[in-house]
């Protein structure tokens, strides 16, 4: 009579199961169950019971069915005995089922004293699967056939795992205006062929609109904040600019008359005073960039540059998806709207996420939300990060924190105290000390002792900086994705 076949398909469901006589005696866990962390429990109990009964677990290069998402990693040896029982945090060692006891009993009755293990491809000290057999016996033809079938299954699973490790799904999350869409644009520049002719054409009216709308935001704030013009003559110029926006002509090239009015307004002392108080109202970060360059933007043959496109601001609604290849990996990057009204759409992106890049605008520590002018933007980001970092969907997902707009933060911290956002802060008004404090506030939201937050200071409009940071991030993503696929 052949050896009993044990099917852990049944064990995983904790159903009573009595093995019937059959050819082969290899044991494994179907890969389809790898995402459920409760399913490896029977294996843990099985190996523990084997150890209690003196059954040794020895390493073997002959791999069986891969157990993805569950790793034993003894410090020096893969021999597991009663004195060196396997342990793994989060598992329930009290799980007992009749079939497990029967399996161990069958092992003993067969004279089985070894349980062979499957080793990780990239980390041989880690066990990713196991099988058992009767020591010292000669395999029958049927048993050899079973072994070959097992090898073929394992080979296919390895290939599937390697392919899965090459598919990277990234989510860009964060509050509104934190720089997520700029990161997406940078990926097109760095990892694709850059912007197309159609892109340049589409962004041209956006540049015009962002420029004039920024000036209008300042003019409106002057009224709300009771900031007078440096010269009374600017009142007429302001009316001209306001009328253009009222006629919805803000996406068109600047007329000569409009250009002159905008230049005079931007040079006005009152306008500059109000601009310097931009934390008290809503103003695009790119306002100064565009308004300082009105002559170039007004040229008849003007075409946006890469930097112009990076600086444009268009509210993201829905989900933007970008695909690119880097280091032979297939990346899918999803950018979703950060405003509160857009966050309900995030749930559809949560499945099979490799890593989350969470963006925070460091420079907005003294500003309030567009959608709720009673809420500090940094406080909103901290609250949102807390909900993402500790979300059940992301228990095993790498979290990469981009503390973005470091260039703006470095300038602002010199004149606007961090105590506006964090009253308890007693450090210097210094970029390095203040940014380290902000980083610590976000890292403190992480409630898991096993999850590491990978933090980077970024300037999303600086292509060189983003290229360097993304290169470092990819190293983390690769390692964690291989580990998640049982290959590391």
3 occurs within a structural domain = no
Length of the chain: 488
Catalytic residue (one of 117, 118, 128, 182): 182
Whether 396 is catalytic: no
166-220 pLDDT, tens per residue?
788 898 999 889 999 999 999 999 998 899 999 999 999 999 999 999 999 999 9
Q: Is 328 a known ligand-binding residue?
A: no
State whether 213 and 303 are in the same domain: yes
CB atoms closer than 10 angstroms to residue 278: 19
Domain boundary among 286, 307, 328: 307
State whether 329 and 303 are in the same domain: no
263 occurs within a structural domain = yes
State whether 189 and 261 are in the same domain: no
Catalytic residue (one of 118, 128, 154, 177): 177
State whether 113 and 214 are in the same domain: no
State whether 37 and 80 are in the same domain: yes
Q: Is 336 a known ligand-binding residue?
A: yes
Q: What is the DSSP string of 219-268?
A: HHHHHHTTPPPSSTTHHHHHHHHHHHHHTT-TTSPPPHHHHHHHHHHHH-
Which residue range(s) make up the domain with 29? 8-164
State whether 186 and 123 are in the same domain: no
376 occurs within a structural domain = yes
Domain boundary among 253, 272, 307: 307
Whether 429 is catalytic: no
State whether 399 and 335 are in the same domain: yes
- Compute φ and ψ for 38, nearest 5 degrees: -80, -20
pLDDT band at residue 350 under the 50/70/90 scheme: low
Catalytic residue (one of 313, 396, 467, 474): 313
Q: Domain with 290 in it: what CATH number?
A: 1.10.400.10
Mean pLDDT of the chain: 73
Whether 313 is catalytic: yes
CB-side neighbour CA atoms (13 Å) of 160:
12
Catalytic residue (one of 250, 335, 366, 410): 335
CA dist., res. 141 & res. 249, Å (int): 83
State whether 239 and 134 are in the same domain: no
10-53 pLDDT, tens per residue?
333 232 223 332 222 223 332 222 233 333 344 444 544 444 44
2 occurs within a structural domain = no
Q: Is 293 a known ligand-binding residue?
A: no
Nearest to 177 by CA among 337, 389, 382: 337
pTM score: 0.66
Q: Is 149 a known ligand-binding residue?
A: no
Q: In what order do the strands lie in the sheet with 167-174?
A: 319-326, 329-336, 167-174, 355-361, 398-404, 453-457
DSSP H or E segment with residue 402:
strand 398-404
Q: Which of 128-137, 189-198, 244-253, 328-337 has the lowest mean pLDDT?
A: 128-137
Q: Is 69 a known ligand-binding residue?
A: no
1 occurs within a structural domain = no
Catalytic residue (one of 213, 251, 305, 339): 339
Q: Is 405 a known ligand-binding residue?
A: yes
93 occurs within a structural domain = yes
pLDDT higher than threshold 50 for residue 481: yes
State whether 253 and 120 are in the same domain: no
Domain boundary among 164, 187, 216: 164
State whether 107 and 127 are in the same domain: yes
Q: Residues 116, 147: contact at Cβ < 8 Å?
A: no
pLDDT band at residue 144 under the 50/70/90 scheme: low
Whether 339 is catalytic: yes
Whether 464 is catalytic: no
Overall number of domains in the chain: 3
Q: Is 377 a known ligand-binding residue?
A: no
Q: Domain with 342 in it: what CATH number?
A: 3.40.50.300
Q: Is 383 a known ligand-binding residue?
A: no
């Amino acid at each position: 009579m052949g050896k009993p076949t044990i099917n852990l398909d049944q064990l995983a469901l904790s159903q009573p199961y009595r093995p019937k006589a059959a050819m082969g005696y290899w044991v494994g866990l179907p890969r389809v169950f790898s995402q459920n962390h409760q399913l490896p429990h029977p294996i843990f109990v099985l190996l523990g019971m084997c150890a209690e009964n003196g059954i040794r677990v020895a390493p073997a290069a002959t791999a069986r069915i891969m157990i993805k998402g569950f790793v034993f990693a003894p410090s020096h040896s893969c021999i597991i005995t009663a004195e060196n029982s396997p342990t793994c945090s989060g598992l329930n060692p009290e799980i007992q089922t009749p079939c497990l006891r029967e399996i161990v009993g069958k092992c003993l009755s067969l004279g089985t004293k070894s349980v062979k293990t499957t080793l990780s491809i990239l980390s041989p000290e880690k066990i990713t699967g196991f099988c058992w057999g009767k020591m010292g016996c000669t395999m029958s033809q049927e048993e050899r056939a079973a072994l070959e079938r097992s090898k073929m299954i394992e080979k296919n699973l390895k290939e599937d795992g390697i392919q899965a490790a090459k598919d990277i799904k990234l989510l860009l999350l964060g509050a509104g205006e934190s720089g997520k869409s700029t990161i997406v644009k940078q990926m097109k520049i760095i990892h694709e062929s850059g912007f197309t002719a159609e892109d340049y054409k589409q962004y041209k009216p956006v540049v015009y609109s962002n420029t004039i709308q920024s000036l209008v935001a300042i003019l409106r704030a002057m009224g709300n904040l009771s900031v007078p013009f440096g010269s009374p003559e600017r009142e007429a110029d302001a009316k001209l600019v306001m009328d253009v926006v009222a006629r919805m002509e803000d996406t068109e090239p600047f007329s000569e008359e409009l250009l002159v009015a905008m230049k005079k307004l931007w040079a006005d002392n009152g306008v500059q005073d109000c601009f310097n108080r931009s934390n008290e109202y809503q103003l695009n970060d790119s306002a100064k960039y565009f308004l300082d360059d009105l002559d170039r933007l007004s040229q008849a043959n003007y075409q946006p540059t890469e930097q112009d496109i990076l600086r444009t601001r268009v509210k993201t609604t829905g989900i933007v998806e970008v695909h690119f290849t880097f280091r032979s990996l297939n990346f899918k990057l999803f950018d979703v709207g950060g405003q509160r009204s857009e966050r309900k759409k995030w749930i559809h992106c949560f499945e099979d996420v490799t890593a989350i890049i969470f963006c925070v605008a460091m420079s907005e520590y003294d500003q309030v939300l567009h959608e709720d002018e009673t809420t500090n933007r940094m406080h909103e980001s901290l609250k949102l990060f807390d909900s993402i970092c500790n979300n059940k969907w992301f228990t095993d997902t790498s979290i990469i924190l981009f503390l973005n707009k470091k260039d703006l933060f470095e300038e602002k911290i010199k004149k606007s105290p961090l105590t506006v956002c964090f009253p308890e802060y007693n450090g210097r008004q210094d970029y390095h000390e203040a940014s380290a404090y902000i980083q610590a506030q976000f890292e403190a939201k992480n409630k898991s002792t096993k999850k590491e937050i990978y933090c980077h200071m970024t300037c999303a409009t600086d292509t060189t900086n983003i290229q360097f940071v993304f290169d470092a991030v990819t190293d983390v993503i690769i390692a964690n994705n291989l580990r998640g696929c049982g290959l590391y």
